[in-house]
Structure 1
């Protein structure tokens, strides 16, 4: 491609023979497009990084700093070194709340897994009817605030005014002590937490079940496998990545359970069902010992990291085998 002719002062035309490479404009456009494709992702990533640093890294660093001080929420703070951690590891209330949290997690994870997987299997079954309405019904609890859910279930299971005990009394049995019996109070927490958290795990399982190749199930059926055998030997192994994610998220969520328990029974009766996050809350805000509560928060964070790393390595070992 050549440049257009130019004219001299005498009016004579002078042909220029400067050649412009044909592909140069294309390369310039590609460079401009490539720049836009690079800038846009970087802009989105930058926003995410800023928000992560602002709401996660900065509070975490501040909590780590407080854990080495005697800060009480107001006034100045003095550096005390590892004193908070030494006192924490000698605190019987801390071990009691941590043990109750571990017990609750050990009971909660299987309950969440079985219920959410069972509902997902029912909602993806070809024989089921009314699946659209059922999805909405099962998903509604996830939209309700844990505080509101705790208040609703507290009203349902109240010892003196609860609807459940009213029905039990009508059937001729003695009312159950949902608020004053530690074991029944823990059972109630398990029921409410499973009811409220099933929806999210159910959606994960539904998406994974729909990705199971139908040819595998049809081949197993032709080989004479019944419905349970097809589920146990075909569907369930293919759901392992989703199962791992559900177990990991449920474990971390159960270890951090707070709002629903606080609204339901406040960790009662007494402190028998006080979980670790409630212990941190009471220490930091009711006793105004921010430094000591921050040390407990750091210990909880380390425990959660260890749990996540162990589960990740276990899942990776299964993949290699």
Structure 2
């Protein structure tokens, strides 16, 4: 009896050890991967940003020379300005479209909602390169479907690619279209979590659909709205494949975003150290955007 009692008393620690080892193993694997593929490259990039490294051969430390030259580079400011403009345009457009579609798909009067969700989610499954090619085929100046329709109706071909503003507008529409699907799913989940009793009480008080949306839906999904805006802002400021496949930053370099500027500087010109400095400036901007949005979100929650 004493031996059995001792065996029974000894089993819980073993179970606790097994329950502890498994999570630690999984967490440690993630930590190793994070350190290997993020921390270590970031440290190397930070070191390179203080050097004149060209990708081959030895390098010399130049201190803050790369950062000083960067802040005097007009091409860097042009790319940064275009990146901010693209972000300011595409994020609100994506927010409005995804929220509108989500409200339509959760409506009790909507039919074929399951099929519609699949159709609206298809853009998210397509590679950004493919999305760029599709939209380039639609808005090409000499071969695009849109200009073909315009000319068939007696109009003149629109310079979608040779006009910088029109070219940026096409990319904004393509970016909003491809990013709407993921935001839509987040909004659908958030709207479904709003208690139905809120809407029933509002209906009894005579509130219409628009008043219910403004007074109930929007405040209830505020945390999800914050996540959607934050993720879309970060993704927009890091956009690269869509621009490359659609207009390659054209016409010329007028629509080069910051990531394109970093890529061309580092790999086309061989200025790895200079490009590393630009990439760290982009990282600081993204961190600042995230911190500002977090502070704004906390203030809204504390009201």
* TM-score bucket (shorter structure): over 0.9
Deviation of 1:20 after TM superposition, in Å, equals 5.8
User: What does residue range 123-202 of structure 1 map to in structure 2 within 5 Å?
Assistant: 123-202=105-184
Deviation of 1:193 after TM superposition, in Å, equals 0.4
Deviation of 1:54 after TM superposition, in Å, equals 1.1
> 1:300 maps to which residue?
282
> 2:226 maps to which residue?
244
SS at match of 2:162: coil
User: What does residue range 216-295 of structure 1 map to in structure 2 within 5 Å?
Assistant: 216-295=198-277
Question: Does structure 1 conserve the Cα–Cα contact (< 8 Å) formed by 2:46 and 2:276?
Answer: yes
9, 32, 49: which one aligns with 1:67:
49
> 2:72 maps to which residue?
90
The gaps in structure 2 that reach 5 residues or longer are none
TM-score, with length taken from structure 2: 0.98
Q: Output the CA distance in 2 between the equivalents of 1:25 and 1:233.
A: 61
Q: Output the CA distance in 2 between the equivalents of 1:277 and 1:315.
A: 28
Deviation of 1:21 after TM superposition, in Å, equals 8.4
Q: Output the CA distance in 1 between the equivalents of 2:114 and 2:19.
A: 40
Q: Output the CA distance in 1 between the equivalents of 2:204 and 2:20.
A: 51
Question: Does structure 1 conserve the Cα–Cα contact (< 8 Å) formed by 2:160 and 2:170?
Answer: yes
TM-score, with length taken from structure 1: 0.92
Higher relative contact order (CA 8 A, sep 6+): 2
Runs of 4 or more above 3 Å deviation: 19-22, 24-27
61, 68, 75: which one aligns with 1:79:
61
Does residue 50 (structure 1) correspond to residue 10 (structure 2)? The answer is no
Q: Output the CA distance in 1 between the equivalents of 2:97 and 2:302.
A: 29
Q: Output the CA distance in 2 between the equivalents of 1:217 and 1:31.
A: 51
Deviation of 1:153 after TM superposition, in Å, equals 1.0
> 1:117 maps to which residue?
99
Deviation of 1:317 after TM superposition, in Å, equals 1.0
Q: Output the CA distance in 2 between the equivalents of 1:163 and 1:107.
A: 24
Deviation of 1:159 after TM superposition, in Å, equals 0.2
- Structure showing greater Rg: 1
Deviation of 1:27 after TM superposition, in Å, equals 3.2
Deviation of 1:25 after TM superposition, in Å, equals 3.6
Deviation of 1:77 after TM superposition, in Å, equals 1.1
The gaps in structure 1 that reach 5 residues or longer are 2-18
> 2:88 maps to which residue?
106
Write out per-residue CA displacement over residues 1-20 of structure 1, whole angstroms, 9 at most, x where no aligned residue: 4xxxxxxxxxxxxxxxxx56
Please provide the CA RMSD for this pair: 1.1
SS at match of 1:199: helix
Does residue 36 (structure 1) correspond to residue 18 (structure 2)? The answer is yes
Say how many residue pairs are matched: 303
Deviation of 1:26 after TM superposition, in Å, equals 3.6
